[in-house]
């Protein structure tokens, strides 16, 4: 079977990013087993970070614990020791054996095994610049610096991303300018070129620009290719998120491939690879 890592089409290579560390749609999120597997295969894989009570980062998407873990309350109010005792939940909400990891746990896990030179771990920071303290920045740098060459840090607040990246020399960065309401505003204004210009200006050091696939495709429907100007500026484009493999999502991926996006975020990279790499 082809590995669920990338799709080569018409002379262009598009990587399949394992969203929330899922190889398949039925995988639970953020398990060390899948993260290690992806990094050894040379895949692109994403995990999320939120700040906990001891001024470090937990590998979780939500700022509250109930949906993803066996805990309750805010991550911000929960100690590192308590977080490490919590179990993750599967897609049906049932507890699994895997426990919550902190950022330093994840980096230590990766340091124990061989990492493929093509592997890329995306750390998607879910908070803003105001959430950062000197202790958070220092803890981030100490954890990530040994793995910096295999990591890219992303988020929607590029001031926060730049601040954290400054603590880990050599760390690559990415920027996501898409927020709730962005698509509706762009459909109303039609100013897709201005949207991209603003994104590039806001994050001048970002290697990757992360765009909601609905925005990419809506721009194409309006006769605007928003991928080309980003690539012309020397950046790469990630289109997010293909949640499952359906006739509709397959058509969306075909369009994204024609537009030559550099990466597609998906909860089912294995399923997409089976469809497109037969």
**Residues in a beta bridge with 251:** none
pLDDT tens figures, 190-200:
999 999 999 99
- What's the whole-number mean pLDDT along residues 48-76? 98
- Give the lowest-confidence range in 40-44, 110-114, 184-188, 240-244: 110-114
SS3 track for 51-99: ECCCCCEECCCCCECCCCECCCCEHHHCCHHHHHHCEEECCCCCEEEEE
Domains and CATH numbers, the chain: 6-276 (3.20.20.190)
Length of the chain: 278
- The per-residue pLDDT of the chain, averaged, comes to 97
Task: Map residue 167 onto helix, strand or coil.
Answer: coil
pLDDT tens figures, 9-19:
999 999 999 99
Tell me what pLDDT residue 163 has.
98
Rounded distance between C-alpha atoms, residue 202 and residue 161, angstroms: 12
Residue 25: CA count within 13 A, CB half-sphere: 10
DSSP codes, 207-269: SEEEEEHHHHHHHHHTT--SHHHHHHTT-EEEEEEE-S--HHHHHHHHHHHHTT-SEEEES-H
Looking up tokens 């910096």 gives 148
pTM, full prediction: 0.97
Q: Name every residue whose Cβ is closer than 8 Å to that of residue 278 and which is 6 or more positions away in sequence.
A: none
Q: Rounded to 10 degrees, what is the CA torsion of 43, 48, 49, 52?
A: -130
CA 130 to mean position of chain CA atoms: 21
Tell me what pLDDT residue 114 has.
86
The pLDDT confidence band at residue 208, using thresholds 50, 70 and 90, is very high
54 class by beta-carbon count within 10 Å (0-12 exposed, 13-18 middle, 19+ buried): middle
Q: Which helix (H) or strand (E) holds 138?
A: helix 134-144
pLDDT tens figures, 140-162:
999 999 999 999 999 999 999 99
The pLDDT confidence band at residue 43, using thresholds 50, 70 and 90, is very high
Rounded distance between C-alpha atoms, residue 234 and residue 238, angstroms: 14
Sign of the CA dihedral running 158, 164, 169, 171: negative
């Amino acid at each position: 079977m082809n590995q669920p890592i990338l799709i080569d089409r018409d002379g262009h290579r598009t990587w399949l990013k394992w969203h929330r560390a899922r190889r398949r749609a039925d995988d639970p999120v953020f398990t060390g087993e899948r993260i290690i597997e992806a990094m050894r295969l040379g895949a692109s894989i994403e995990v999320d970070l939120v700040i906990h009570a001891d001024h470090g980062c937990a590998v979780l998407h939500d700022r509250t614990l109930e949906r993803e873990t066996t805990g309750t309350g805010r991550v911000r109010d929960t100690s590192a020791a308590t977080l490490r005792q919590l179990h993750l939940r599967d897609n049906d909400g049932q507890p699994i054996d895997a426990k919550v990891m902190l950022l330093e746990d994840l980096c230590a896990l990766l340091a124990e095994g061989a990492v493929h030179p093509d592997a890329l771990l995306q750390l998607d920071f879910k908070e803003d610049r105001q959430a950062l303290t000197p202790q958070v920045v220092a803890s981030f740098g100490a954890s990530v610096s040994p793995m910096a060459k295999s990591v890219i840090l992303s988020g929607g607040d590029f001031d926060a991303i730049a601040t954290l990246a400054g603590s880990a020399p050599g760390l690559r960065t990415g920027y996501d300018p898409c927020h709730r309401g962005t698509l509706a505003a762009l459909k109303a204004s039609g100013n897709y070129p201005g949207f991209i210009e603003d994104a590039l200006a806001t994050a001048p050091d970002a290697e990757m620009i992360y765009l909601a696939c609905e925005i990419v495709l809506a721009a194409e429907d309006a006769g605007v290719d928003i991928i080309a100007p980003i690539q012309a500026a020397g950046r790469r484009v990630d289109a997010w998120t293909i949640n499952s493999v359906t006739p509709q999502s397959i058509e969306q991926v075909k369009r994204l491939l024609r537009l030559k996006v550099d990466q597609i975020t998906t909860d089912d990279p294995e399923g997409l690879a089976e469809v497109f790499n037969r």
